[in-house]
Amino acid sequence: MKMHHFKAYIFILLLFLIDKGAISQSNTKSPDVITRFKPGSIQELANEIKKKYTKDDQRITAVYQWITHNIRYDLKQANTTELSMSQQTITEKTFRLQKAVCEGYAGLMDSISELLNIPSQLVSGYTRILGEIDPTPHVWIASYVNGNWLLSDPTFGAGAMINNRFVQEYNPEFLLVNPGKMIQTHMPYDPLWQFLPSPYTHEAFVSKKMNITLKHYFKHHADSLKSFLEADPAKQNQLELDRLQAQKYDYTAVVQRMNFLQQSLNISQYNDAVRLLNFISDKFNNAVGAYNSYAESFNKNQRSASNPINLSDLSKAEKLLEECSELLYTGKYPPQLMEQAKSIQESLTEFQLKVKSAR
Give the strand pairing for 120-129 and 132-145.
antiparallel
| CA-closest candidate to residue 116, choices 46, 42, 43, 44 | 46
Question: Which residues are CB-contacts of 35 (< 8 A; sequence separation ≥ 6)?
Answer: 65, 66, 69, 70
341 φ/ψ angles, rounded to the nearest 5 degrees: -65, -40
What is the C-alpha separation between 108 and 310, in angstroms, rounded?
59
pLDDT tens digits for range 166-177? 888 999 999 999
Predicted TM-score (pTM) of the model is 0.77
Q: How far is CA 343 from CA 60, 294, 333, 340, in A?
A: 55, 25, 13, 5
Crossing angle (nearest 10°) for helices 338-357 and 252-303 = 20
**DSSP 3-state assignment of 8?**
coil
Is the separation of the CB atoms in 199 and 193 below 8 Å? no
Bridge partners, 128 (sequence order)? 133
Q: In the chain, what are the domain boundaries?
A: 7-188, 268-357
Whether 131 shows a pLDDT value over 80: the answer reads: yes
pLDDT score for 30? 59
What is the domain class of 7-188 according to CATH? alpha beta
pLDDT tens digits for range 79-102? 665 556 788 899 999 999 999 999
pLDDT tens digits for range 316-345? 999 999 999 999 999 999 999 999 999 999
Is the separation of the CB atoms in 239 and 218 below 8 Å? no
Whether 154 shows a pLDDT value over 80: the answer reads: yes
Burial per residue of 323-339, b for 16 or more beta-carbon CB atoms within 10 angstroms, e otherwise: ebbeebeebebeeebee
Give the strand pairing for 72-73 and 99-100.
parallel
pLDDT tens digits for range 283-296? 999 999 999 999 99
Whether 1 shows a pLDDT value over 50: the answer reads: no
Q: In what order do the strands lie in the sheet with 120-129?
A: 148-152, 132-145, 120-129, 186-188
Is the separation of the CB atoms in 206 and 241 below 8 Å? no
What is the C-alpha separation between 245 and 238, in angstroms, rounded?
10
Alpha helices in 71-153, H assignment, sequence order: 75-78, 87-97, 102-115
| CA-closest candidate to residue 37, choices 58, 27, 57, 52 | 52
Crossing angle (nearest 10°) for helices 233-245 and 252-303 = 140
pLDDT score for 247? 84
Distance of CA 105 to the CA centre of its chain: 16
24 φ/ψ angles, rounded to the nearest 5 degrees: -65, 150
pLDDT tens digits for range 243-263? 898 887 788 899 999 999 999
158 φ/ψ angles, rounded to the nearest 5 degrees: -90, -20
What is the C-alpha separation between 254 and 190, in angstroms, rounded?
10
Strands (E) across the chain are located at 72-73, 99-100, 120-129, 132-145, 148-152, 159-162, 165-168, 186-188
What is the C-alpha separation between 24 and 172, in angstroms, rounded?
10
| CA-closest candidate to residue 108, choices 136, 141, 80 | 141
